Structure formats: structure tokens, C-alpha cells
């Protein structure tokens, strides 16, 4: 049963400067203001650079409800899950939300001692129950995939997320469970550092034969009617990446890539990855992309094994709209997935539009956004790890010269 909402949290400095309203991120960008003084052209205030460490989480009132996301079918998480839930309910007197399928695990449902605690839990089912206005913050137990799953549960505003490293990689999970009591207490008391992880708003359109898109010689999309030449069938909020690939076909994928209505290139190869800065350290980096800090407002476009030696990954501003369609001469269909889920086929005439979402994921930091990121690069990806060069003294150098 889902109880009525009792209070809403207030988040300080959690709205990204590149997306504060409107249907697209670019709608909220403050335009450059030009003024003419003494016959000279000048630019007025145009850019405000915010220190990532200044983004903090505060509460109007102490949080009362928490969503605990546990990796399914992982026996190693049973004891941490039980310990955390007992702490939240008995010590912190909080309302705990969990997925119904988590409590259906025989190792949990068969535990008589823990059963008295679960009777006070509020349960929900994915895609059936809306808990977006019921949860103050989220605690994830698992790996990076657990955080991605938590993001998918909220298609609009996302509560702050606290992720504990109990999975495989742990790039997005900075907290260690050994100190969970003090760390959770600090979050409940407020003033925790956060990083706003931008998401992608993705819409999939299917072909509408009454409104067929066509492209002129300049690469401009022309239509016989509305701008969106198709029927909207699905919308997703993506934290890591959108992947368009050739699927089971042995042929190369062949898709056209548009930016703000202009055809910029055709991607021929195994596919293309459109990722957020958070996703730049996932599939994209394996495909040769650069790694971008989550605070950078950008969208990355990375080809997968392109049939061209000069096709390098590119970074575009967060405010643009990307559109992906099958090329007219494509020999096969393509397949698209969103953070590795909801995989579906894209046929001729279908289209995918991608913009920066106005609903980022506020991820609670262990220290601060910069230190946490570089710590993850070092610990998880072993960034720039090599054997150090031996020191040569001046005497040894002179001997070597002789």
C-alpha cells in the first residue's frame, strides 16, 4: 500500500544551469545579451561558472521516507539489506519502500525474525505503481546497474540517490557499507555534497505514412506537416547512453544523424552511442570516447567500429536535439537500447530524438564531485596506471654519457 505524501524535500543548488525549464534544455539557456556602447559591440553577462563543490543537499524538514533498491538474486546482499532496513525503521523511524519482488525472495520471506520488520514496509511494482511523490531519498545496494535501475523508476524528478558499493564495478557507487550508519545519518541531517548527473530524454517515433519526412540538398529536414513526422510510441529517461546497433544482422548499420534538424553525417559501422557525461566512462569509453566529468553540460556521440578511419567521437552542447533515422539505402533495420534495457527494433521511417533532460539524477557524493570522480577513475578503471620510471642521479647520468 502506498501512503499519502507527507512532506516534500527541498534541494539546494540542484538545478543545472543548462536546463531549468521548458521542453528542451536549450529553452532554458540564458541567451547572450549584446549591447552597443560608444559605437562598439560588446557582450554582456553571458556565462556563470559554478563551483561543483557548491552543490549541496538540504531539507526543509527531516526526511521521512526512503526507497531501498537491492540487486535482485544476489545472496551476498541479503545481510546488508536486512541490517540497513532494521537501522532505518528501528533507529531512524523512517518509512521504507522496497520492491515487492525483493520481499518475495525466499531468503527474506522465510526469515521469521526479519518478517516483523517487513510488515511495516511499503511495496511497489515497477511500471505499475508511481512512487515519485512518496520518496524523500534513495539508497542503492549493488553496483552501477542498480543506480541505473533506480534512475529508470523516475521519469521526471528524481530524489537524491545514495549508492553503496556492493557490486562488481562501482564507478557510480562511492560509499562503503562498513560505515553505513554514520553516512546515512549525515545524509538525513542534510548538507551533503551532490553531483547532478544529467540524463537524456529519448523519444521513439514510428512511421506515419501520411507524414513522411524528407531531406533537401542542404541537409534540412522537410515535412509535409508537423515537425515530428510520426506517432510517439515511447519516451525514456536515460542516465548512461542510448545505443543504436545492427542487432543480429551481418550487414553494417547505416543511420543518418541530424543535429537541430540538419543532417551532419551518416554512421556506417556496428552502430553509434549517444551518451551523457556519466555514460562517457561506460560503453562509450570502451568504444574510444573521452571521459567527461558529470558536471560538464554535454552530449557525446561515439561511433561503434565505424567503416571510416576518420570518424572520431565528438562532443556537442547539451542544448541541442539529435535525431537518428535509418538511411534510405540501409540494407537492414537497426536496434536501440536505453541504458541496456527496453531493446527494440527500428525500421525504415522510424526516428529517435534525443535531448538533454530537465530531470537530472542528484547523486550524493562521498567527498565532493571532483575527488569522487578521480577516485573512481583510479580505483575502477586504473586510469593512467603504469610502472614508474626509475630515477637517474646526476652522477649516473654522467657515467652513462661517458
Dihedral angle computed from the Cα positions of residues 391, 395, 396 and 401, in that order, rounded to the nearest 10 degrees: 130
Distances (CA, A) of 124 to 108, 132, 141, 157, 394: 16, 11, 17, 18, 70
Mean pLDDT of 222-249: 80
Mean per-residue pLDDT for 252-269? 96
The model's pTM is 0.81
Per-residue model confidence as pLDDT tens digits over 304-314? 999 999 999 99
Asked whether residue 210 carries a pLDDT value surpassing 80, the answer given is no
C-alpha cell at 51: 563551483
CATH class of the 200-209+232-358 domain in this structure: mainly beta
Residue 108 above 80 pLDDT?
yes
pLDDT category of residue 32 using cuts at 50, 70 and 90: very low
Query: How sure is the predictor about 126, in pLDDT bands with cuts at 50, 70 and 90?
Result: confident
Tell whether the model's pLDDT for residue 317 goes beyond 70. yes
Give the residue numbers marked as catalytic. 144
Give the CA-trace dihedral at 127, 131, 135, 139, to 10 degrees.
Answer: -10
pLDDT at 390: 86
* CA-based nearest residue to 131, from 121, 123, 143: 123
SS3 396: helix
Query: Which CATH fold topology does 56-198+369-381 show?
Result: Rossmann fold (3.40.50)
* Residue 311 in grid coordinates: 570518424
Angle at 100 between CA 94 and CA 105, to 5 degrees: 105
Instruction: Find, among 383, 379, 12, 15, the residue nearest to 173 by Cα.
Output: 379
Burial class (CB in 10 A: 0-12, 13-18, 19+), 191: exposed
Give the start-to-end residue ranges of the domains of the chain.
56-198+369-381, 200-209+232-358
Q: What is the reported pLDDT for 55?
A: 83
Helix (H, G, I), strand (E, B) or coil at 254: strand
More confident residue, 26 or 121: 121
Using the structure block, give the residue that is written with the C-alpha cell 541530424: 258
Task: With a cut of 50, say whether residue 9 has pLDDT above it.
Answer: no
What integer best gives the mean pLDDT of the chain?
84
SS3 162: strand
Amino acid at each position: 500500500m502506498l501512503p499519502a505524501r507527507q512532506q516534500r524535500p527541498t534541494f539546494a543548488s540542484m538545478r543545472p544551469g543548462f536546463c531549468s525549464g521548458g521542453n528542451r534544455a536549450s529553452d532554458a539557456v540564458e541567451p547572450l545579451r549584446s549591447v552597443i556602447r560608444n559605437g562598439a559591440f560588446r557582450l554582456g553577462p553571458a556565462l556563470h561558472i559554478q563551483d561543483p563543490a557548491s552543490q549541496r543537499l538540504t531539507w526543509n524538514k527531516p526526511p521521512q521516507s526512503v526507497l531501498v533498491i537491492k540487486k535482485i538474486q544476489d545472496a551476498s546482499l541479503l545481510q546488508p539489506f536486512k541490517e540497513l532496513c532494521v537501522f532505518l525503521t528501528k533507529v531512524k523511524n523512517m518509512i521504507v519502500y522496497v520492491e515487492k519482488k525483493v520481499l518475495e525472495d525466499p531468503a527474506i520471506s522465510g526469515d521469521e525474525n526479519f518478517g516483523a520488520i517487513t510488515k511495516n514496509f511499503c511495496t511497489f511494482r515497477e511500471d505499475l505503481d508511481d512512487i515519485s511523490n512518496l520518496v524523500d531519498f534513495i539508497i542503492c545496494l549493488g553496483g552501477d546497474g542498480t543506480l541505473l535501475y533506480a534512475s529508470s523508476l523516475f521519469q521526471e524528478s528524481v530524489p537524491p540517490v545514495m549508492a553503496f558499493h556492493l557490486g562488481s564495478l562501482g564507478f557510480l557507487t562511492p560509499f562503503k557499507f562498513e560505515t553505513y550508519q554514520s553516512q546515512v545519518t549525515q545524509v538525513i541531517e542534510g548538507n551533503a555534497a551532490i553531483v547532478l548527473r544529467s540524463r537524456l530524454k529519448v523519444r521513439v517515433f514510428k512511421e506515419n505514412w501520411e507524414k513522411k519526412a524528407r531531406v533537401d540538398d542542404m541537409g534540412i529536414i522537410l515535412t509535409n506537416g508537423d515537425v515530428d513526422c510520426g506517432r510517439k510510441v515511447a519516451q525514456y529517461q536515460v542516465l548512461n547512453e542510448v545505443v543504436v546497433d545492427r542487432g543480429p544482422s551481418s550487414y553494417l548499420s547505416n543511420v543518418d544523424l541530424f543535429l537541430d534538424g540538419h543532417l551532419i553525417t551518416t554512421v556506417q559501422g556496428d552502430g553509434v552511442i549517444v551518451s551523457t557525461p556519466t555514460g562517457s566512462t561506460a560503453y562509450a569509453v570502451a568504444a574510444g570516447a573521452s571521459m567527461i566529468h558529470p558536471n560538464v553540460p554535454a552530449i557525446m556521440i561515439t561511433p561503434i567500429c565505424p567503416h571510416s578511419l576518420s570518424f572520431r567521437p565528438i562532443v556537442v552542447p547539451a542544448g541541442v536535439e539529435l535525431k537518428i533515422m535509418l538511411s534510405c539505402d540501409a540494407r537492414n533495420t537497426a536496434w536501440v537500447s536505453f541504458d541496456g534495457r527496453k531493446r527494440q527494433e527500428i525500421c525504415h521511417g522510424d526516428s529517435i530524438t534525443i535531448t538533454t533532460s530537465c530531470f537530472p539524477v542528484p547523486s550524493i557524493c562521498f567527498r565532493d564531485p571532483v575527488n569522487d570522480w578521480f577516485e573512481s577513475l583510479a580505483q575502477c578503471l586504473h586510469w593512467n596506471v603504469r610502472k614508474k620510471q626509475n630515477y637517474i642521479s646526476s652522477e649516473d647520468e654522467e657515467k652513462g654519457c661517458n
